[in-house]
Amino acid sequence: MLHAPFTRRLAAASAALALALTGGAAASPAVADPRAVEKTHTAVGTGGAVSTVDPEASAAALEVLRKGGNAVDAAVAAAATLGVTEPYSAGIGGGGYFVYYDAATESVHTIDGRETAPAGADFQTFMNPATGKPYLFGELVTSGVSVGVPGTPATWERALENWGTLSLGEALRPAIKVADRGFVVDETFRKQTDDNRARFANFTSTSELFLPGGALPTVGSIFKNHDLAETYRLLARQGTEDGFYAGPLAEEIAATVQAPPTVPTPTLPVPAGTMTTADLAGYEALDQDPTHVEYRGYDVYGMAPSSSGGTTVGEALNILETFDLAGMAPADALHHYLQSSGLAFADRGKYVGDPAFVGVPTKALTDPVFGKERACLINPDTAAQTPFAPGDVASYDGVCPAAPAALADEQDTENLSTTNLTVADQWGNVVEYTLTIEQTGGSGIVVPGRGFILNNELTDFTTTSFDTADPNRIEPGKRPRSSMSPTILLNEDGTPFLALGSPGGSTIITTVLQTIVNRVDLGMTTPAALAAPRASNRNFANSIGRAFVTAEPGFIDEFGDDLAPYEYLLVKSGDAFTSAAEIGAETAIEFLPDGRMLAAAEPVRRGGGSALVLTPSP
């Protein structure tokens, strides 16, 4: 245990008193009950801070902090609550990456809680026996084949064991309360249910839970999930090893994957998966070293492979470090941001996969000398018209080489599933945690009577080819490559400066990168950096090989003309009036020089998030 309980109680008591004296009001509900619906997007103060996409989850974390729990306790409480209120984005049926800054040792630690492919999952499982060809991506999305062994329960337990002060049962308590008493349905929840309606209707279990009587939940109604409360109680009593990864629940998960509970006449093929109880019993959340790069005097820590987040954000920052972005016109700085990201994505595609299966050159990818050499390929006047080729990690010296031939990265699908949360406590510990069930609505398959959806994370493997040179090809027991990028920046003296993360598939990487550039180089405040319109260069090419950049409509409106001389092909990320137009939905905490914390949540995208501090200050 890092902190003496007595000191903690005292500090918590004085924080509670301060809260009472300042009134607390909107920024700081005293308890997670009654229902939290207020969304404050920015909050400044002391004593602890939290930012999530959801007011119930933020209130749950704040309650834990108020009672003297630390950032890890509060992060697990918030994540479990998100499993209730954001069941289509995250939950115990999925996986994620947990990044922790320990104030006592000024060091950053991570847990890889990514899902794994079952032992029976190899390239054959992605082949449709009826056609002899790979399943179409859409066929895999709603299937047992794409369900990975969940990592989230093990991650919560491991995080609490490593650094927490609460038991799993104590940390689950606020979420159980929210699941039992229900939360208020908002527009986003209804919309996400509607978007998934046709898929969910294929499963008896899923329709019973999320489409009772075939109807969508109405905005303003109360949504309860007693099944999930009961499942959380089981985990609280037995722990995850006996309660989730073994025993009746494990048997039910395996049975659900092997024989999805479809209605008599499903409209989708729903291929069955192979997951067994042995796969569940063998799951392990991994303690892992973070990635590290230096950027403008900050130490930037991220998630190492199996996520590509840390290496790709890190490499792009190393590239950008060689340019004076702050001294450039905004369009010029954005041009460099976009090109650095294209370069880093080329290397991501060639080199990053699960390090337990492929030799990932993490050191080279995050080496400033490699970044310096890659920076040579940025033409200051023109965007690359074709995708960048990957660099050579086996031989680099920071000297500009002759231009190599281009090679397109595989295009990933991305969406707005996944969720992210940021928590800091009164001792200065910080958690940045991104978790997901992959697609919004995951596989669409609820484990009957258990209240949660299984992920479809295995669609993050390459699904169309099985080239042995591909680091992200499917193999038994392997973790699919992720883009999740929970990131913590420290000041030179080892204290935290900024923690941030986002949902959004492979746009997560560019969202985190752009926000760092906005904050560090372009002088924006953290809330402004989160709100600013986004563009994402993932080294993609269109059907005739022309490189293109995906951009929010607001970005095209604001910067389209200024970027025209660079010859970008800016492709709208979606219709201006749909959520597909949005890139990311971040949460962040900045640690201000005067000791206060600035919690910031996405103000608009996905309905906006909820930022709270324990003791608000003017």
Specify the residue, 321 or 414, whose C-beta has the smaller distance to ligand GLU: 414
**Binder of ligand GLU out of 28, 155, 483, 511 (CB under 6 A):** 483
Q: How far is CA 605 from the centre of its chain?
A: 15
E strand or H helix at 299, and its extent?
A: strand 298-302
**Position 485 contacts ligand GLU (CB under 6 A):** no
Distance CA 63, CA 174 (A): 8
42 SS3 class: strand
Q: 195 is written with which tokens?
A: 């978007």
CB 148 within 8 Å of CB 116: yes
Indicate whether 609 belongs to the interface with ligand GLU (CB under 6 A).
no
- Identify which range of 5-13, 314-322, 413-421, 549-557 contacts ligand GLU by CB under 6 A: 413-421
Instruction: Please report whether residue 288 would count as binding ligand GLU according to CB under 6 A.
Output: no
Q: Are 444 and 267 in contact (CB under 8 A)?
A: no
438 near ligand GLU, rule: CB under 6 A: yes
Nearest alpha-carbon partner for 43 in 601, 492, 608: 601
Q: Judged by CB, which is closer to ligand GLU: 496, or 609?
A: 609
414 touches ligand GLU by CB under 6 A: yes
Q: Which residue, 393, 349, 344, is CA-closest to 516? A: 344
Of 508 and 522, nearer to ligand GLU (C-beta) is 508
Alpha helices for 404-525 (secondary structure H): 507-516
Q: How far apart are CA 386 and CA 312, in angstroms?
A: 19
Under rule CB under 6 A, residue 147 binds ligand GLU: no
Query: For ligand GLU, which is the closer residue by CB, 52 or 418?
Result: 418
What's the token pair of residue 535?
């563009």
386 belongs to the catalytic site: no
Residue 305: closest CA among 317, 296, 314: 314
Q: Which among 9-17, 352-360, 414-422, 513-521 is the span making contact with ligand GLU, rule CB under 6 A? A: 414-422
Of the residues 206, 418, 440, 526, only one is catalytic, namely: 418
User: Of 26-34, 365-373, 478-486, 589-597, which segment contacts ligand GLU by CB under 6 A?
Assistant: 478-486
CA–CA dist 505, 16 (Å, integer): 39
Rounded to a whole number of angstroms, the minimum distance from the CB of residue 251 to ligand GLU is 26
How many other C-beta atoms are found inside a 10 Å radius of the C-beta of residue 282? 14
Residue 269 CB, shortest distance to ligand GLU, in Å, is 22
Nearer to ligand GLU, 56 or 438 (CB): 438
Identify the residue among 142, 311, 340, 436 touching ligand GLU (CB under 6 A): 436
Selected range binding ligand GLU among 259-267, 293-301, 344-352, 481-489, rule: CB under 6 A: 481-489
Q: By CB neighbour count within 10 A (0-12 exposed, 13-18 middle, 19+ buried), where does 401 fall?
A: middle
Residue 417 interacts with ligand GLU (CB under 6 A): yes or no: yes
State yes or no: residue 110 binds ligand GLU (CB under 6 A): no
As a whole number of angstroms, the distance between CA 428 and CA 220 comes to: 37
**Residue 471 — φ and ψ, nearest 5°?**
-65, -15
Specify the length of the chain in residues. 618
Shortest separation between residue 504's beta carbon and ligand GLU, angstroms: 5
Report residue 94 as tokens: 């999925």
3-class DSSP state of 346:
helix
By the rule CB under 6 A, 484 interacts with ligand GLU: yes
Determine if 580 is a binding residue for ligand GLU (CB under 6 A): no
Quickly tell me which residue has 């109880």 as its tokens: 277
Helix (H) or strand (E) segment spanning residue 133: strand 133-134
Contact with ligand GLU (CB under 6 A) among 81, 165, 418, 579: 418
Q: How far apart are the first and last CA of the chain?
A: 34
Q: Please report the DSSP string for 281-298 in residue order.
A: HT---EEEPPEEEEETTE
Q: What is the rounded radius of gyration, in angstroms, for the C-alpha atoms of the chain?
A: 23
Query: Minimum distance from CB of 113 to ligand GLU (Å)?
Result: 11
Asked if 482 interacts with ligand GLU (CB under 6 A), we say yes
If binding is defined by CB under 6 A, does position 29 make contact with ligand GLU? no
d(CA 365, CA 342): 14
CB of 456 to ligand GLU, least distance (A): 9
Main-chain dihedrals φ then ψ at residue 126, nearest 5 degrees: -90, 0
Among 460, 521, 552, 602, binds ligand GLU (CB under 6 A): 460
Q: Binding string to ligand GLU for residues 364 to 403, with x set by CB under 6 A, is what?
A: ----------------------------------------
Q: What is the dihedral of CA 147, 148, 152, 154, to 10 degrees?
A: 130
> Residue 415 interacts with ligand GLU (CB under 6 A)?
yes
Judged by CB under 6 A, which stretch of 233-241, 377-385, 391-399, 409-417 contacts ligand GLU?
409-417
Contact letters for ligand GLU, residues 486-525 (x by CB under 6 A): -----------------xxx--x-----------------
Least gap, CB of 88 to ligand GLU (angstroms): 11
- Known catalytic residues? 418
**Which residues make up the interface to ligand GLU (CB under 6 A)?**
414-415, 417-418, 436, 438, 457, 460, 482-484, 503-505, 508
